[in-house]
Amino acid sequence: MRLLIFFLLGITLPLCAQTDYAATAESADALADEVITWRRHVHQYPELSNRETETAKYIAAHLEQLGLEVRTGVAHTGVVGILRGGQPGGVVALRADIDALPVTERADLPYASKATGEYRGEEVGVMHACGHDTHVAMLMGAAEVLSAQQASIPGTIVFLFQPAEEGAPEGEEGGAKLMVEEGVLKDYGVEAAFGIHINSQTPVGHVNYKPGGAMAASNSFRIEVKGKQAHGSTPWAGVDPITAAAQIVVGLQMIVARQTELTKEPAVISVGKIEGGVRSNIIPEEVTLIGTIRTLDEEMKEEIFERIRQTATSIAESSGASAEVSIDEGYPVTYNDPAMTARMLPTVQATVGEEHVHLVRPITGAEDFSFYAKEVPSLFLFLGGMDPEMDPAEAPGHHTPDFVIDERSLTYGVQLYTNLALDYLNGQNGK
């Protein structure tokens, strides 16, 4: 198989030439069965965030077999592969996330996950319910295709196999943020980064993109509302934090509905948990609200943070209670550099066909690829993974037990990773 790829690329890609998309497609097709095998292995043996030890070994063994420089133990369990081309040039990073989710698989597949793990002190099923297994396999495939033409590559390609995209366990650091802090971009002089995410509700062969803010910043908030405990029969003898918390929930929604310029970018504030009290006839001393904030503009994000603090404290004070607001650092906006997006769009169109490339609205979901995009010009794409015969409305969503991917999508992912790297390094589509 590898000899065939070497042969194909050896006769079609002269030194520092323009990318031959047909040759890339032919090489990806020749590797298709192996890529599917890799994906099924990773799918069958998933591991939770910061616990991807066997997955990391599997990836590292493949990269070492290809002759790449390999760095392991990055951000706990991450793997970095470095392919130094035979010609001088720039440095580009390609990223795939490798962690799974605490979800019990329900799909009837011969390679379905039976794995379990520990999440927040409980034993849970573990499943690749967001397609990270496909990302791993596609990037492993691209590494093989690209390593076959190492001598003609003008520059360096850094393969980032990143753990903990879904969030590090409580009390731990991890993910892209820690990868960046440990130097995966600076150590190799990375100039640009590309990432791909499979989508279970977009047909195979299609790609969605969005310049600028493509995915939301995600921040969790916690509001501690403190009152004065009293008997439920005499509420006037205390200060009720439950009624104050209820008013705060409504007030938070008014921030989005009446105080945020939604024609600029969308925003979401959601309370996901309210906790307080022990029994029906006791007004408690304290109530806790926990929720999430999703924004797509940095200035809007800071303004919403301030309005949350002001709204919560003012409403609490109006009833004699007090409120303490804390907001975590979270994930930044996943920002597709407009110039980089415009430069690489012809590559995407040449790979899957212009009619299969779609400009879409931003997504209020979040992605920690955003930490790379904060450091270097980046492009993050959404690759179709749904059977084209399916109705998108009926296709199982991400993070669900029935999540499924059509494996015909994998060869497109291999091609995209490969062509994006080559076109960037070749200076194709402009500087």
**In this predicted model, what pLDDT tens digit does every residue of 4-18 receive, in sequence order?**
444 444 433 334 458
Average pLDDT over residues 193-221: 98
Q: Are residues 190 and 157 in the same domain?
A: yes
**In this predicted model, what pLDDT tens digit does every residue of 64-90 receive, in sequence order?**
999 999 999 999 999 999 999 999 999
pLDDT at 83: 98
pLDDT at 203: 98
**In this predicted model, what pLDDT tens digit does every residue of 265-274 receive, in sequence order?**
999 999 999 9
Average pLDDT over residues 194-206: 98
Q: Are residues 279 and 181 in the same domain?
A: no
DSSP three-state, residue 171: coil
Both tokens assigned to 393: 């409305």
- Select from 281, 300, 327 the last residue of a domain: 327
- The residues, ordered by sequence, that sit 6+ positions from 199 with a Cβ below 8 Å of its Cβ are 131, 208, 382, 383, 384, 385, 386, 398
Domain count, the chain: 2
> Taking the model in full, what pTM does it have?
0.92
Q: Are residues 223 and 202 in the same domain?
A: no
pLDDT at 429: 83
Q: Are residues 284 and 138 in the same domain?
A: no
Alpha-carbon gap, residue 13 to 146, rounded angstroms: 11
111 is catalytic: no
Q: Are residues 228 and 322 in the same domain?
A: yes
| DSSP label of 126 | -
Average pLDDT over residues 273-301: 97
Average pLDDT over residues 113-117: 98
Which residue range is the domain that position 232 belongs to? 217-327
Alpha-carbon gap, residue 383 to 413, rounded angstroms: 7
Amino acid at 425: L
Contact by Cβ (8 Å): 255, 199: no
- Evaluate whether residue 393 is within a structural domain: yes
Contact by Cβ (8 Å): 262, 364: no
Q: CB-hemisphere CA count at 13 Å for 58?
A: 21
Q: Are residues 263 and 360 in the same domain?
A: no
Q: Are residues 122 and 192 in the same domain?
A: yes
Domain containing residue 211: CATH number: 3.40.630.10
Which candidate in 191, 303, 375, 407 is catalytic? Answer: 407
Alpha-carbon gap, residue 417 to 431, rounded angstroms: 19
- Evaluate whether residue 431 is within a structural domain: no
Q: Positive or negative, the Cα torsion across 75, 335, 373, 409?
A: positive
- Distances in whole angstroms, Cα of residue 49 to Cα of each of 164, 225, 228, 243: 4, 32, 41, 38
Domain containing residue 237: CATH number: 3.30.70.360
Helices (H), 66-185: 132-147, 175-181
pLDDT at 15: 42
Q: Are residues 248 and 112 in the same domain?
A: no
In angstroms, the first-to-last Cα distance of the chain is: 35
Contact by Cβ (8 Å): 31, 149: no
Both tokens assigned to 13: 């890609």
407 is catalytic: yes
Alpha-carbon gap, residue 57 to 60, rounded angstroms: 5
- The residues, ordered by sequence, that sit 6+ positions from 303 with a Cβ below 8 Å of its Cβ are 260
- The residues, ordered by sequence, that sit 6+ positions from 65 with a Cβ below 8 Å of its Cβ are none
| DSSP label of 101 | B
Which candidate in 209, 331, 372, 424 is catalytic? Answer: 331
Concatenated DSSP letters for 258-322?
Answer: HHS-TTTS-EEEEEEEEEE-SSTTEE-SEEEEEEEEEES-HHHHHHHHHHHHHHHHHHHHHTT-E
pLDDT at 428: 84
